[in-house]
Amino acid sequence: MCGFVCLWNVGDETLASKMIHKIAHRGPDAVQVARLEGAPVVMAHCRLSIIGPEDGDQPIYQTGDMLVANGEIYNHADLRAILGESAFETESDSETILHLFRSGESRWISKLDGMFAFVLATPKRVIAARDPLGIKPLYVARIGGGHAFASELKAFDGVPVESVEAIPPGTLFDSRDGWRHWYRTPHGAAEAEAEFDVDRTARELRLVLEEAVAKWMVADVEVGSFLSGGLDSSIIAAIAQKGLRDQGRGPLKTFSVGTEGSPDLLAARRVADHIGSDHREHVFTAQDLADAIPHVIYHLESADIDLVRSAIPTLFAAQLAVKEVKAVLTGEGADELFAGYAYHHDYVDNPRALADELTRSLGTMHNINLQRVDRVTMSESLEARTPFLDRELIDFAQSIPASLKLCRTDPQAKESTGETTEKWILRKACADLLPADLVWRKKAQFDEGSGTVDTLAEALRLLTGAVGEVDRDGEGALYERILRQRFETPERILAAAGTWDSSARVAV
């Protein structure tokens, strides 16, 4: 996992160095700045070594082409075999991007399987692209007649740019050929046909999920797992622990945070005991929250109330995990794929509308939960991995009728009770992994289950000096004031961050 800057037809090594050092937390293992010979290109890169730690420094420069990349290419070994091992000069998974581009295939980028953002330059051309759902961030700014690319908005803070915008998920910019939307989220199915085999579908879902977890654990360093005690992170941790045990490895390191006696901490302990993970936990206080909020807002690059609230426990979990591992698995994506949010219950009698909403929400994750997880974990130089957002799993999950994801059914008795159960097919597929009461435990948002919401009221009083309760308007004003204090050009940060309703979708 890394951060990068690319200047094309603008600036020099001094500007690139200034920009990369603003996001150097993304990659503390190495920082490099280089110019592409014979081209108006300067690239800078900060590296967190995960795959190919000995020889994977960037920018990667080979015979006139230069590349900077952020993320992981999980099928890099297969691509090496196809492209020819002799062409490769390093063990880095990122190098596969360069050789795929050189293959000359028109849809070469679609062969990349993983989470990534990159900029690739030749003497006459620059190409920038982002993974299907925008797990990894990428921004572009116009400066005069040139472009500047960077992994975070703060790299542009104080730089005289004309505009800054996010490159959309699943999109590629080519200075020669223009924009391409190379990936589109498959549209979700609505209702099951009469002959639809639910049991077979659940079994296949389990296999696809197990393959996704195994794939997203590939690394040359140890990978741990966040464990909130909720369904999604518990399933990921249970599958990961089982995979390690089957290989004679492990145990998996799991990490949980919350206030003293909070539901998440108690549930996470039970899950850890059940699966046999090597568990760590951290108890935080109102003062810890007050101390963390300015850090969270700066790195989150947002003053959105609900995003900030959910990011605080993510920060504590990252600070706990990074003491022992360089990468962690997380549960992001399950709610969007399997209808896990409270507002989804409004769609229980309209599977078509639910399927449409799930498809829509998948396409906006980069502005909500994925932004939170990336910025906050990378602020601590920790890589977060999201197996639920594996492309093959997305394809399979979207083919499952929405009527099996949210339904008025008692999943154990298989009788209609009128009670709505979210993520039903996912629970059925993984019911044997965890105790029954945890499998069917009702969802709580991460900031609620961890105890953040209740403790936050006291933290806000500590920050503002208020005697009584700080209402939502006051909380929002505080967050925006903190953001404005932390940036030289706060209006640019606020404008580029965008506006969206995150209140219903900010859970791990």
Alpha carbon separation from 70 to 53, 181, 217 (Å, rounded):
14, 19, 17
pLDDT tens string 485-499: 999 999 999 987 654
Reduce the secondary structure of 351-382 to three states and give it as a string: HHHHHHHHHHHHCCHHHCHHHHHHHHHHHCCC
Q: Where are the domains of the chain?
A: 2-181, 198-404+444-497
pLDDT band with cut points at 50, 70 and 90 for residue 508: very low
- CATH dotted code for 2-181: 3.60.20.10
Q: Quote the pLDDT of residue 51.
A: 77
Distance CA(490)–CA(495), nearest Å, equals 8
Q: Please report, rounded to a whole number, the percentage of residues in the chain having pLDDT higher than 90.
A: 81
Which residues neighbour 61 within 8 Å (Cβ) at sequence distance 6 or greater? 34, 36, 67
pLDDT tens string 248-264: 998 999 999 999 988 88
- Give CA 345 to chain center in angstroms: 25
What is the identity of the amino acid at 92? S
Three-state secondary-structure class, residue 268:
helix
The reply to whether 198-404+444-497 shares the fold of 2-181 is no
Q: Quote the pLDDT of residue 199.
A: 95
pLDDT band with cut points at 50, 70 and 90 for residue 87: confident
Q: Which of 99, 113, 105, 45 is nearest to 391 (CA)?
A: 113
Distance CA(447)–CA(452), nearest Å, equals 5
pLDDT band with cut points at 50, 70 and 90 for residue 411: very low
Least confident of 198-207, 273-282, 339-348, 497-506: 497-506
Q: Which helix (DSSP H) or strand (DSSP E) does residue 237 occupy?
A: helix 231-246
Q: Which residues are annotated as a binding site?
A: 93, 257
CB 169 within 8 A of CB 130: yes
Least confident of 184-188, 212-216, 263-267: 263-267
Distance CA(451)–CA(448), nearest Å, equals 5
Q: Which residues are annotated as a binding site for ATP?
A: 257
Alpha carbon separation from 136 to 111, 266, 324, 385, 433 (Å, rounded):
17, 32, 23, 10, 30
Choice among 2, 6, 46, 430 that is catalytic: 2
Tokens read off for 217 = 């654990």
Q: Average pLDDT in the 124-133 region?
A: 97
Distance CA(25)–CA(273), nearest Å, equals 34
pLDDT band with cut points at 50, 70 and 90 for residue 57: confident
The reply to whether 6 belongs to the active site is no
Q: Is the pLDDT of residue 506 over 90?
A: no
Beta bridge partners of 328: 224, 384
Distance CA(196)–CA(200), nearest Å, equals 9
Q: Rg of the Cα trace of the chain?
A: 22
- Please state whether 438 falls in left (phi above 0), alpha (psi between -120 and 50) or beta: alpha
Q: Average pLDDT in the 4-16 region?
A: 96
What value, to the nearest 5°, has the Cα angle with vertex 312 and ends 310 and 315? 115
Distance CA(335)–CA(273), nearest Å, equals 25
pLDDT tens string 103-115: 999 999 999 999 9
Average pLDDT, the chain: 92
Q: Is the pLDDT of residue 446 over 70?
A: no
Which residues neighbour 75 within 8 Å (Cβ) at sequence distance 6 or greater? 111, 112, 113, 114, 215
pLDDT tens string 297-308: 999 999 999 999
Alpha carbon separation from 347 to 129, 130, 341, 441 (Å, rounded):
35, 31, 11, 20
Q: Quote the pLDDT of residue 445.
A: 53
pLDDT tens string 31-43: 999 999 889 999 9
pLDDT tens string 304-356: 999 999 999 999 999 999 999 999 999 999 999 999 999 999 999 999 999 99
Residue found under tokens 């939170």: 372
Count CB-CB contacts under 10 A for residue 88.
17
Q: Is the pLDDT of residue 219 over 50?
A: yes
Instruction: Give phi and psi for 275, each to the nearest 5.
Output: -90, -15
Q: Is the pLDDT of residue 412 over 50?
A: no
Residue found under tokens 């790195």: 299
Q: Is the pLDDT of residue 410 over 70?
A: no
Distance CA(72)–CA(329), nearest Å, equals 13
Cis peptide preceding 263, ω within 30 of 0: no
Q: Quote the pLDDT of residue 498.
A: 54
Three-state secondary-structure class, residue 150:
strand
Tokens read off for 52 = 């190919």
CATH architecture of the domain with range 198-404+444-497: 3-Layer(aba) Sandwich (3.40)
Q: Quote the pLDDT of residue 70.
A: 96
Q: Which residues are annotated as a binding site for L-glutamine?
A: 93
